[in-house]
Amino acid sequence: EEGGGRTATTSSWRQSPTLRLIRHVHAKRPLSEGHFRSILSARRHDLTVKQYATVDEIVRHSQSSCGSLLRLVLECSGLPPPPPAASGEEEDADDDCDVVRDAASEIGACHGLTNALRTSIPVLSNTGKVIIPADLCRKYGVRSPRYLLSALGMGDEECRSALKFAVSDLAAEARSRLSEARGRREDIFAELGEEKGRDVTAAFLVGMASETFLDRLERRNFDLTDRSL
């Protein structure tokens, strides 16, 4: 700030509730820098993408963004960070917490895909960005963003049907990732014990919110234009 004796950076974090909370937590329990970098890198990349090429690509983005955020939440709850030797590379295969981090990545993928589906129509209309990956669009014949908006607006049933099939596939991928994470529950409790296992799995409740939306989407026949979603 001019004349205020503080830099713009200092001023900005003081004005942000999120940054103030991160600073407070980090002072008590240092958090992994790599997770922050993954989140920021994923966000920067996302701003440059009008449509992800494949389902795998949007899954990787979701793991880098939502999955990394969930790993930070786990560290806030007391889960130790990955071993230093694995920084920026692969984690130690002997680390007891690997199974927890793997589950976090899967739930992050589910959460990211679900958020993408939930906001897809507003994002499409405001930015022209198509959330459905290009490989699914080709598979079911979903057209270009401009055509898609026009067709949906005019009630084109062929276009609406094609979009539903593509949405169904992406929703199935999200459910699959959630199922993979839940399949690790017994391993998590075996590694960490009952009390610590309950503590860390509480951070995975976001998966239930994602599942609730996916259930609602399925009941509406995967119609993203349904206003009751």
State residue 9's pLDDT score.
54
Write the CA distances from 123 to 85, 120, 144, 176, 224, integer angstroms: 40, 5, 14, 25, 12
* pLDDT score of 113 more than 70: yes
Write the CA distances from 39 to 36, 95, 129, 194, integer angstroms: 5, 23, 20, 30
Q: What confidence tens digit (pLDDT) does each residue in 81-92 have?
A: 877 654 445 444
Mean pLDDT of 81-107: 72
Contact between 171 and 133 under an 8 Å Cβ cutoff? The reply is no
Question: What whole-number distance in Å separates Cα of residue 203 and Cα of residue 58?
Answer: 23
State residue 206's pLDDT score.
94
Q: What confidence tens digit (pLDDT) does each residue in 22-78 have?
A: 788 778 878 889 999 999 999 999 999 999 999 999 999 999 999 999 999 999 888
More confident: 67 or 226: 67
The structure tokens listed for 165 are 């099939």
CATH number, domain 10-219: 1.10.600.10
In which band, very low, low, confident or very high, does the pLDDT at 4 lie, cut at 50, 70 and 90?
very low
Q: What confidence tens digit (pLDDT) does each residue in 124-177 have?
A: 888 888 899 999 999 998 876 666 666 666 667 887 888 899 999 999 999 999
Write the CA distances from 170 to 112, 122, 134, integer angstroms: 11, 18, 12
State residue 225's pLDDT score.
81
More confident: 3 or 206: 206
Question: What whole-number distance in Å separates Cα of residue 182 and Cα of residue 211?
Answer: 12
State residue 67's pLDDT score.
96
- How is the chain split into domains, by residue range? 10-219
State residue 81's pLDDT score.
81
